[in-house]
Chains A and B, each alone.
Chain A
Amino acid sequence: MKTSSAPFGAGWLLRMSPQKQDTLLKLMILTIAAVLAFSTRLFSVLQFESVIHEFDPYFNYRTTLFLAEKGFYNFHNWFDDRAWYPLGRIIGGTIYPGLMVTSAAIYNILNFINITINVRNVCVFLAPLFASFTTVVTYLFTRELKDAGAGLVAASMLAIVPGYISRSVAGSYDNEGIAIFCMLLTYTLWVKAAKTGSLFWSVLCALAYFYMVSSWGGYVFLINLIPLHVLILMFTGRFSHRIYVAYSSVYCIGTILSMQIAFVGFQPVQSSEHMAALGVFGLCQIHAFVDYLRSKLSVEQFNLLFKSLVLISGSVMFGAAAVATAAGKISPWTGRFYSLLDPSYAKNNIPIIASVSEHQPTAWSSFYFDLQLLVFMFPVGLYYCFSKLTDANIFIIIYGVTSIYFSGVMVRLMLVLAPVMCILSGIGVSSVLNTYMKNLDVSTKKDKKQKKSDNTYPLKNEIATGVIMIMTSFLIMYTFHCTWVTSEAYSSPSIVLTARGGDNGKIIFDDFREAYYWLRQNTHYNAKIMSWWDYGYQITAIANRTVLVDNNTWNNTHISRVGQAMASTEDKAYEIMRELDVDYVLVIFGGLTGYSSDDINKFLWMVRIGGSTDRGSHIKEADYYTPQGEFRVDKDGSPILLNCLMYKMCYYRFGSVYTEGGKPTGYDRVRNTEIGNKDFELEVLEEAYTTEHWLVRIYKVKNLENRGI
């Protein structure tokens, strides 16, 4: 105990009533958990620097910057002409603004009270901040379900669970970072509302739901889960006035509020994903009405009325649904929805869904990797919930079972699963500890004798010690596992790369930002940059230059046009580049450093997408393979590949560079071959800039000749 070193503090502590001590202890544990949640997410800042990660966060950062500078109305009406040149993009109406509004608000408040912080730092640290909020909310939620002890365990587990950290490390400034907080807050308030049946909690729940809708498209899960809860309560005969008040008000206020988000619009009353909520709302009214009638009528009258009512309302509903679907008012089931229900649907029918790595199914090892001991503590917690069923427990059971199903289908939904895993595991762990801590005989001897008489068995103390030790070691292992996973697997920003050097030191490749800053400093403000769409967000955000395509892949033909330019010969590509007013072309090349996700490895996608539209029908994937069907860049490679624009831009001057000892010049370290076309000059382009490790190469498009020939 730390009291020994500070007698003054101990005296102060002992003078407090047990209740106050209890509160203080809970507060301390919760604070520590929240601080831990924040600090464990700072690995990336410590290993690199305070930098925004990956691709989408750069877009969010740029929009936040705009919002903080220009105000909300300009943001809402923002037409972005720096992307998708010459089409542009309406930003205000096509994004979930919750994230940007949150960070802009934090930025403005902090600056108002004279804490000067810039927007970038707000963005970088927003996700960790909200993770510690989530920790607190988890405590509150679990306390509603079981007790404060379970809440503390769940909160501490959630603070470091890798499944959640993967999307909320410092710098990964994305919607999911705050959405999990919103989701758990909504659930907490919903359970509270369902328990009390008070309008106050219901309205708060609707407001939390509004915040959730404004920040993430995953709110659809939420608006289906709550109705499902109500439905199951109806089936189990637990429906009451409390549930009626709670659900009716949450649904009405929540739906009206959610329709205020421009991107959501009229979907809550039109699309089929929201129809379950509407249906249950109607069912609620009918159920309440039937209950009212039953209390007023005799049994026979009631039965007759009930039957005819069911028949009429059923046929009317069916007819209305059929008419609305036929008229196209209710949008048909979207592919993403089907892929959740029947996992093989997407695989067979929608290649774009199947191809995205986040949409892959989850192997058992990734469950274990992301959740460790939660994998088997979760069912234990579920067992406890089943043994003591309440309205709230039913909710958490439904949440657990549905989310584990969805996360099994899509690895990305691990994020939704992680909180409920922590909550149920917290319940499980705390129940086991609660049971056996009591058996642990540390009390005085006379106490022991008293107890032995009524409820005990031989070796009780020893077994209890064993259980406590095992639980302790499990929790310690969990901590080590989570910390390791966070620091090694989930904390790389992907815009700054690292590699292990020969002397086991860390080498940092900061070429991306080098190139983007070069563009920012050395090109005309209105210069148009052509690159593959992956780098669009980063170029607009860091270099502040206009791009043709970016990560919001809304226009396939436009992307296809860029793909055609990359896959064509120089003179063909020049026509396309003149048509699109391109000033600079940017390619990512990993051949010198061995960075494998470079443009040559993505090139086949460019060819495929380029050839997928009418104007690119002359581009055939087969032409880029050797007769044996291999994709290779050495001498045996297809001559069309060796002369296309992408190849030339990547390997310009590369033929005279030594990359590895014992290998000839022009040895590509990703493909592990000597390149086939070494000695060539560029005709319509000139090299403008190549970064230190050749990761990014920028070319300037030459102007037309002064005089025609």
Chain B
Amino acid sequence: MSAMSYLFTVLALLICISVTDSVYKKKEDSLSDKVSQLTEWNNKKSVIRLTGDKFRELVKTPPKNYSVIVMLTALQSKRQCSVCKQANDEYLILANSWRYSQQFSDRLFFTMVDYDEGPDVFQSLKLNTAPVFMHFPAKGKPKKGDTMDIHRVGFAAEQIARWVQERTDIQVRVFRPPNYSGTLALALLFSLIGGLLYLKRNNLEFLYNKTSWGIGALAIIFAMTSGQMWNHIRGPPLMHKNPQTGQMHYVHASSQGQFIMETYIVMLLNTAVVVGFIMLNEAHTMKSDGRKKRIMALVGLGCVAIFFSLLLSVFRSKYQGYPYR
């Protein structure tokens, strides 16, 4: 009896072992499958696009030995999420830095889920905003800090990298592809000027032509007084479309900001007023018959009056109630 029971125990144990072994094996298999799957995708693209099913299979289901960073976003143009595009650019920079770095391994994957490809993911995570950066650790469930707080730190690639390091202890050194466009434009400009000078080398008189210098100076002035420098530094939108009415706003309603279109309008108006004044002056000094003089003076006068009132009304739309009487 005791021998029997012993045998049974052994059998049970054996079965047990073989079962766990096979389960373990299966787990091992699925894990290596997943890793190889992810690595294969990652070799093609630095950011892996996931659908709802893939997300559940590769990110949510437990056997994992790798961390996954997920960007939940809405990139379709019909969603009108301009922030998502900027965030996506930064995220790509980070993912590429990781993809081509020396420490690149299968411990960390950068993935993304687009709302239009996996709306169920958003539902299951109870998200109603985009973009959201989440970290799914190798072991256990995501905690509070595993959602990146982009409202506070922003979504610059460096910030995401710092957050990734905080969560996973993997340091990714962000390598921004240098922006050659500025240098290239400058080089082009210089070569153009150099070329022009070379072509005209026998006749450099135009350098002493004060009209061209005068026009250049006026151009700088108009660019500055219309706030082009502000545009250059702040990068405002071209214009604003009211989401409710679909109406286009060319002029920013407050004195704190401005749209690019608005500055062009102002530049045009300023130029027109100045041209009006110059015509008024030219009409007097010009050596021609009275008729032409009269027309020129009248046009100049009209220019000044009309465009100044337009300028005033643009200004009034920014400072409500101007001239405050």
Contacts and interface: CB of A to CB of B under 8 A. Distances in A.
| Same complex origin of A and B | yes
B319 A362 contact: no
A428 interface: yes
A389 B210 contact: yes
Contacts of A319: none
Nearest to A354: B233
B301 interface: yes
A380 B297 contact: no
Contacts of A379: 218, 221-222, 270, 274
A409 interface: yes
Contacts of A466: 301
Contacts of B229: 343, 361-362, 405, 408-409
A408 B228 contact: yes
B222 to A, nearest CB: 7
B201 interface: no
B152 interface: yes
B240 interface: no
A375 B270 contact: yes
Interface string B269-286: 010011001101100100
B204 to A, nearest CB: 12
A380 B144 contact: no
B232 A368 contact: no
A378 B221 contact: yes
B318 A404 contact: no
B324 A484 contact: yes
A383 interface: yes
Contacts of B280: 432, 435-436, 467
B255 A361 contact: no
Which interface residue of B144, B214, B319 has the most chain A CB atoms within 10 A? B214
Interface stretch (A187-195, A324-332, A452-460, A639-647): A452-460
Interface residues of B, number: 57
A404 B224 contact: yes
A364 B224 CA distance: 8
Contact of A383 (B224, B228, B278, B323): B278
B79 interface: no
Nearest to B302: A466
Nearest to A403: B224
B75 interface: no
B24 interface: no
B277 A366 contact: no
Contacts of A377: 277
Interface string B287-304: 001110110011001001
B234 interface: yes
A397 B233 contact: no
Interface in A344-360: 344, 347
A459 B294 contact: yes
A466 B223 CA distance: 30
A575 interface: no
B294 A488 contact: no
Contact of A404 (B225, B233, B291): B225
Nearest to B220: A401
Given A361-B233, A364-B258, A627-B144, A456 B277 contact: no
A518 interface: no
Contacts of B218: 379, 382-383
A282 interface: no
B225 A629 contact: no
A466 B294 CA distance: 13
A397 B214 CA distance: 9
A244 interface: no
Most B-side CB within 10 Å, residue of A408, A467, A488: A408
Interface in B215-250: 217-218, 220-230, 232-234
B324 A488 contact: yes
Contacts of A404: 220-221, 224-225
Contacts of B151: 629
Contact of A361 (B230, B289, B297): B230
A436 B280 CA distance: 9
Contact of A458 (B221, B255, B281, B294): B294
B188 interface: no
Given A343-B233, A435-B281, A463-B301, A363 B255 contact: yes
Given A376-B273, A379-B218, A389-B210, A363 B227 contact: yes
| Most interface-central of B224, B227, B257, B323 (chain A CB within 10 A) | B224
**What secondary structure prevails in chain A residues at the interface with B?**
helix
Contacts of A389: 210
B230 A457 contact: no
A386 B213 contact: yes
Contacts of B100: none
A402 to B, nearest CB: 9
A19 interface: no
Contacts of B291: 457-458
A622 interface: yes
Given A365-B319, A379-B221, A380-B278, A344 B233 contact: yes
Contacts of A368: 311, 315
B6 interface: no
Interface in B18-36: none
Nearest to A411: B230
Given A367-B227, A380-B274, A457-B290, A401 B210 contact: no
Contacts of B324: 484, 488
Interface string A431-472: 110011001000000000000000011111001001100100
Contacts of A431: 281
B315 A456 contact: no
A524 B5 CA distance: 94
Interface in A92-119: none
Interface in A664-698: none
A467 B233 contact: no
A435 B152 contact: no
B266 interface: yes
A59 interface: no
Nearest to A371: B225
A470 B304 CA distance: 9
Interface string A376-400: 1111101110100100000001001
A625 interface: yes
B46 interface: no
A26 interface: no
Nearest to A367: B225
Interface string B142-171: 001000010110000000000000000000
Given A364-B266, A405-B224, A435-B284, A376 B277 contact: yes
A338 interface: no
Nearest to B284: A435
A236 interface: yes
Contacts of A480: 323
A470 B305 contact: yes
Given A368-B315, A629-B152, A408 B217 contact: no
A546 B61 CA distance: 64
A627 B143 CA distance: 12
Nearest to A455: B290
B208 interface: yes
**Among B149, B284, B289, residue most surrounded by chain A Cβ atoms (within 10 Å):** B284
Given A363-B256, A365-B258, 9 more contacts: A361-B227, A361-B229, A361-B230, A365-B318, A376-B274, A379-B222, A383-B278, A404-B220, A460-B290
Interface of A: 236, 343-344, 347, 361-369, 375-380, 382-384, 386, 389, 397, 400-401, 404-405, 407-409, 428, 431-432, 435-436, 439, 456-460, 463, 466-467, 470, 474, 480-481, 484, 488, 622, 625, 627, 629
The 10 closest A-B pairs by CB, nearest first: A457-B290, A364-B227, A386-B214, A408-B224, A408-B229, A361-B230, A376-B273, A380-B277, A629-B152, A379-B274
19 contacts: A343-B229, A364-B262, A364-B266, A376-B308, A384-B281, A386-B213, A386-B214, A389-B210, A401-B221, A405-B229, A408-B227, A435-B284, A458-B290, A459-B298, A460-B290, A463-B294, A463-B298, A470-B305, A629-B151
